[in-house]
Amino acid sequence: MTALLEVEDLRVAYGKIEAVKGISFTVEAGQVVTLIGTNGAGKTTTLRTLSGLLKPAGGRIVFDGKPLNDVPAHKVVSLGLAHSPEGRHIFPRLTITENLQLGAYLRNDKAGIEKDIQRAYDLFPILGERRKQAAGTLSGGEQQMLAMGRALMCRPKLLMLDEPSMGLSPIMMQKIMQTIVELKAQGTTILLVEQNAQAALSLADQGHVMEVGKIVLSGTGPDLLHDESVRKAYLGED
Ligand code: ATP
Q: What is the 212 CA–ligand 1 centroid distance (Å)?
A: 10
Determine if ligand 1 sits within 6 Å of the CB of residue 51.
Answer: no
Confidence of residue 1 (pLDDT cuts 50, 70, 90): low
Q: Is residue 170 part of a domain?
A: yes
Q: How many CA atoms lie within 13 A of 71 on its CB side?
A: 20
Q: Is residue 124 part of a domain?
A: no
Q: Residue 237 pLDDT more than 80?
A: no
Domain that holds residue 171: 5-89+155-234
Q: What is the 26 CA–ligand 1 centroid distance (Å)?
A: 22
CA distance 220 to 159: 19
Residue 86 CA: nearest ligand 1 atom is 4
Across the chain, mean pLDDT equals 92
Q: What is the pLDDT of residue 118?
A: 96
Q: Residue 234 pLDDT more than 90?
A: no
Q: Which has more confidence, 2 or 25?
A: 25
Q: Is residue 50 part of a domain?
A: yes
**Mutation probe of ligand 1 site: the residue of 11, 12, 14, 166 with most atoms within 8 A of C-beta:** 14
The domain that holds 229 is classified in CATH as 3.40.50.300
Q: Is residue 111 part of a domain?
A: no
Determine if ligand 1 sits within 6 Å of the CB of residue 19.
Answer: yes
Q: How would DSSP label each residue in 70-104?
A: T--HHHHHHHTEEEE-TT----TTSBHHHHHHHHT
Determine if ligand 1 sits within 6 Å of the CB of residue 37.
Answer: yes
Q: What is the 219 CA–ligand 1 centroid distance (Å)?
A: 24
Residue 15 CA: nearest ligand 1 atom is 29
CA distance 59 to 71: 14
Determine if ligand 1 sits within 6 Å of the CB of residue 87.
Answer: no
pLDDT digits (tens, 9 = 90+) for 170-220: 888 898 999 999 999 999 999 999 988 999 999 999 999 999 999 999 999
Q: What is the pLDDT of residue 215?
A: 97
Q: Is residue 103 part of a domain?
A: no
Q: Are strands 66-67 and 189-194 parallel, antiparallel or unpaired?
A: unpaired
CA distance 180 to 170: 15
Confidence of residue 235 (pLDDT cuts 50, 70, 90): confident
Q: How many domains does the chain have?
A: 1
Q: Is residue 211 part of a domain?
A: yes
Confidence of residue 238 (pLDDT cuts 50, 70, 90): low
Confidence of residue 106 (pLDDT cuts 50, 70, 90): confident
Q: Is residue 136 part of a domain?
A: no
